[in-house]
Amino acid sequence: MDEQPRLMHSHGVGMAGHPGLAQHMQDGTGGTDGEGRKQDIGDILQQIMTITDQSLDEAQARKHALNCHRMKPALFNVLCEIKEKTVLSIRGAQEEEPPDPQLMRLDNMLLAEGVSGPEKGGGSAAAAAAAAAAGGAGSDNSAEHSDYRAKLSQIRQIYHTELEKYEQACNEFTTHVMNLLREQSRTRPISPKEIERMVSIIHRKFSSIQMQLKQSTCEAVMILRSRFLDARRKRRNFNKQATEILNEYFYSHLSNPYPSEEAKEELAKKCSITVSQVHVLLSNKTSSNPVVSNWFGNKRIRYKKNIGKFQEEANMYAARTAVNAASASAQGSQANSPSTPNSAGSAGSFNMSNSGDLFMSVQSLNGDSYQGAQVGANIQSQVDTLRHVISQAGGYSDGLPGSQIYSPQGISANGGWQDAPTPSSVTSPTEGPGSVHSDTSN
């Protein structure tokens, strides 16, 4: 303690013209002493040089001896002088590096993914809440979701633990090095700048290790994420019941198969269809159930594309809803259809994109405003077929087994399915697709 570390700044700079060592060397009495001093200095240097070869205790002892050596201040001054010169060259190498762009990228990503952010980021919590709210019955989805979150938080935990470990190690090491340097500054000149430099070197080293950690964390998150996103693409067919419910709605609203938000929600609930959690996670909209919307979108387009293929199905569901509604009450059968009065498919008036004139009205069962079955096609290539079908009055030909016939009402030539009162009532296709009366065969 008696000896403060001799940092250079405390020594001043003005010794260039007056080297302390020279002074010491010259303040002897006789010329012959010169030899002895030289010897002395050589001794000291020798001791210094070999100090690292010794055991700790020995070294410690020798250090103390050196510290007390009468030549020490002189030697120290010399070292200071040399240092002063070399420092200049060191300074040049010292550049303030800008923050590593890649590190910044990693940081940003970790933050965005909620790994490095505040504990249990509000964002993910909100997403979870949204998922829970949107998917009331969806145990499947929320399970998947929580799985994702569990894995993410696992990653986050590992990341934080490791990060903390690194930080601690870094601090420990830094303190250690600084102590060492301070200790050493007794025997050799060390500028604060040098210590600073050393510290920054240490920090750089550690931060490069940290970067590796961040990188692998990012990778892990990416992998998790991609696996999660892939999962969303994995298609699971709805169960039969769900499909039936959806189909029922579709065919009973064939005139306007665009369920409202509430209707979609309702259907989703009935079918136990939940929003894919991804939708909730990636888009924070609380709106309609995209799964149901997807279904209706697909259904509409596919129905429209190939009505014939769906005739059977349509009739089936129409019949079902008819029974349910118990309305029917088929009153008059219009004269003009060759077929029996009742043969009406579900009414669909959804207007085919191109040409409204393809359908023909054949019969309308309801006195009030309702149209009977309709057949329509928008595809030019189907026209012939349709004509054929129609001419057969519900008989079928090639692709179109249907027994449906169009009535013009509710159909607008221009676009979109017109809305029409629920068709419900109309049908009674008696028997499935069969319902073909009249001259079917020919």
Partner DNA sequence: CGGGATGATTAGTT
Partner DNA sequence: AACTAATCATCCCG
Residues 203 and 103: their CA atoms lie apart, in Å, by: 14
Cα(149)–Cα(124) distance, integer angstroms: 8
Chosen residue from 124, 252, 277, 288 binding DNA by CB under 7 A: 288
The smaller minimum CB distance to DNA, of residues 294 and 329, is found at 294
**Selected range binding DNA among 87-95, 175-183, 276-284, 401-409, rule: CB under 7 A:** 276-284
Tokens of residue 358, six digits: 């393809």
Report the residue number, 208 or 287, with the smaller CB distance to DNA.
Answer: 287
Closest to DNA by CB, 291 vs 389, is 291
- Produce one character per residue of 174-201: b if its CB has 16 or more CB atoms within 10 Å, e if not: beeeeeebeeebbbebbbeebbeebbee
* Amino acid at the residue 421: P
Contact letters for DNA, residues 298-327 (x by CB under 7 A): x-xxx-xx---x------------------
The type of residue at 284 is N
DSSP string for 208-231: HHHHHHHHHHHHHHHHHHHHHHHH
Q: Which of 291, 314, 319, 386 binds DNA (CB under 7 A)?
A: 291
**How many Cβ atoms are within 10 Å of 259's Cβ, its own excluded?**
22
Among 20, 114, 290, 308, binds DNA (CB under 7 A): 290
Looking at 353, 369, 380, 391, which residue binds DNA (CB under 7 A)? Answer: 353
Question: Considering CB under 7 A, how many residues would be counted as binding DNA?
Answer: 33
Residue 283 φ/ψ region, left for φ over 0, alpha for ψ in the -120 to 50 degree band, beta for the rest: beta
The least CB distance from residue 191 to DNA, in Å, is 59
Partners of residue 210 on adjacent β-strands: none
Across the chain, which distance is largest between two alpha carbons, in Å? 147
Cα 65 from Cα 76, distance rounded (Å) = 14
Site for DNA in 400-429 (CB under 7 A): 416-417
Residue 275 in tokens: 């929003």
Instruction: Give yes or no for residue 145 binding DNA (CB under 7 A).
Output: no
Q: Please select the residue that binds DNA; options are 297, 332, 357, 391, rule is CB under 7 A.
A: 297
Part of the chain binding DNA (CB under 7 A), chosen from 167-175, 193-201, 292-300, 432-440: 292-300
Footprint of DNA on 243-262 (CB under 7 A)? 243, 258, 261
CB of 129 to DNA, least distance (A): 20
Quote the distance between the C-alpha of residue 282 and its chain's center.
7
How far is residue 50 from each of residues 17, 62, 292, measured CA to CA in Å? 31, 10, 83
Candidates 67, 168, 215, 294: give the one binding DNA (CB under 7 A): 294
> Smallest gap, in angstroms, from Cβ of residue 231 to DNA?
9
Of 391, 395, 238, 239, which Cα lies nearest the Cα of 311? 395
Which one of 13-21, 58-66, 192-200, 291-299 is the stretch in contact with DNA (CB under 7 A)? 291-299
Task: Using alpha carbons, select from 400, 354, 335 the residue that is nearest to residue 374.
Answer: 400
Positive or negative, the CA dihedral 223, 224, 230, 236 is positive
Between 97 and 262, whose beta carbon lies closer to DNA? 262
Q: How far is the CB of 297 from DNA (least distance, A)?
A: 4
Residues 186-245 that bind DNA (CB under 7 A): 230, 232-238, 243
Please, which residue, 76 or 359, has the CB nearer to DNA? 359
Q: Which residues bind DNA (CB under 7 A)?
A: 230, 232-238, 243, 258, 261, 276, 278-279, 287-288, 290-291, 293-298, 300-302, 304-305, 309, 353, 416-417
